[in-house]
Amino acid sequence: MAARSIASLNISFGLVSIPVKLYTATESSHAISFNLLHKTCGSRLKQQLLCAREDIPVPREDIVKGYEFSKDQYVMFEPEELKALEEAGTHAADITEFVPIEAIDPVYFDKAYYLAPDKGGAKPYALLARALRESKRCAIGRWAARGKQYIVMIRPVEDGLVMQQLLYANEVRSIKDLNIPSAEVKAAELKLAEQLIDQQASDTFDPTAYKDEVRERIEAAVQEKVAGHEVTLAEEPERGGAQIIDLMEALRASLGKKAPAAARKTATAAKPARKPAKAAPQAEAAPEKRKGTRRAK
């Protein structure tokens, strides 16, 4: 099924304007959702909004939005007032600077979109993608949509460009807020840890090697119930042996385990094939023992 564009916009690159189409890069529809039902008859439940003071249902036409500026004290906004405060969509992403790709911590990454050239945009699209790829930089800009303003990063990938929404600085907590104690790492411990990393290292990341096992179990249970079968609850797996407290012992025990399939595949591909061993010369057949009784001496 061909991908469907969700919007069109222009990327402003200096005095160059690149018309592009926007495509969602992720599939939120793959999430499994459940409805709330009445247990006794199986009918769907309807939500009601109740007034906390009068304890009566409130119709939607009597609902307004309010901001709590103090405990149980609100200022109310009409829909027209909030609409006037929203950012007007410009259908444009204005590039403001170019920074090294590794300069942006992935913790700032939000939703991603694929970009494809629109009519007349193939040449400048290819130019921007190649320039970013060769300079090892990404473009940072602003994009307004759905009444909000976003920071976006446009980065090159193998086949084109991705526009990644970024979180604002006040939306990301600092790791400095955590109380992380300092600890001394011994040289022997570091060496074993590096050996463990090398043992399970891969040169590429293959996302298809990982499956959502919880989703698969839920889907299987849904099909069993649709077919009228009872779902057998799996017993909780037994925990492993005694917990290894000593760090060196834990590292040595980890090195003794087999590497994951992806890591073994990479390691196997890296090793040269062994030459077949030469066939050993056939030994002469041993004379057949005679059957019979042994003479007593």
Which pLDDT does position 154 carry in this prediction?
96
Which pLDDT does position 245 carry in this prediction?
67
For residue 258, tell me if it sits in a domain.
Answer: no
For residue 11, tell me if it sits in a domain.
Answer: yes
For residue 178, tell me if it sits in a domain.
Answer: no
What's the rounded Cα separation, in Å, for the pair 256 and 234? 30
- Give tens-digit pLDDT for 139-189: 999 998 877 889 999 999 988 999 999 999 999 999 999 999 999 999 999
- Give tens-digit pLDDT for 227-256: 888 887 777 666 655 565 687 788 888 887
Which pLDDT does position 294 carry in this prediction?
44
- Give tens-digit pLDDT for 202-230: 998 898 898 988 888 888 888 888 888 88
For residue 229, tell me if it sits in a domain.
Answer: no
For residue 297, tell me if it sits in a domain.
Answer: no
Kindly provide the residue ranges of all beta strands, DSSP E only, lying in the chain, ordered along the sequence: 7-13, 16-24, 65-70, 73-77, 92-100, 109-117, 137-145, 148-157, 160-166
For residue 165, tell me if it sits in a domain.
Answer: yes
Residue 220 makes CB contacts below 8 A (sequence gap 6+) with none
- Give tens-digit pLDDT for 22-56: 999 987 666 788 998 999 999 999 888 999 889 99
Residue span of the structural domain in which 160 resides:
7-27+86-170
Please give the tally of structural domains in the chain: 1
The answer on pLDDT for 12 being more than 90 is no
Which pLDDT does position 282 carry in this prediction?
44
Which pLDDT does position 228 carry in this prediction?
85
Name the H helices within the chain: 79-85, 122-135, 187-199, 213-226, 247-256, 261-270
For residue 139, tell me if it sits in a domain.
Answer: yes
20: confidence class by pLDDT, cuts 50, 70, 90: very high
Average of per-residue pLDDT values in the chain? 82
Average pLDDT over residues 81-96: 81
CATH number, residue 16: 2.40.290.10
For residue 223, tell me if it sits in a domain.
Answer: no
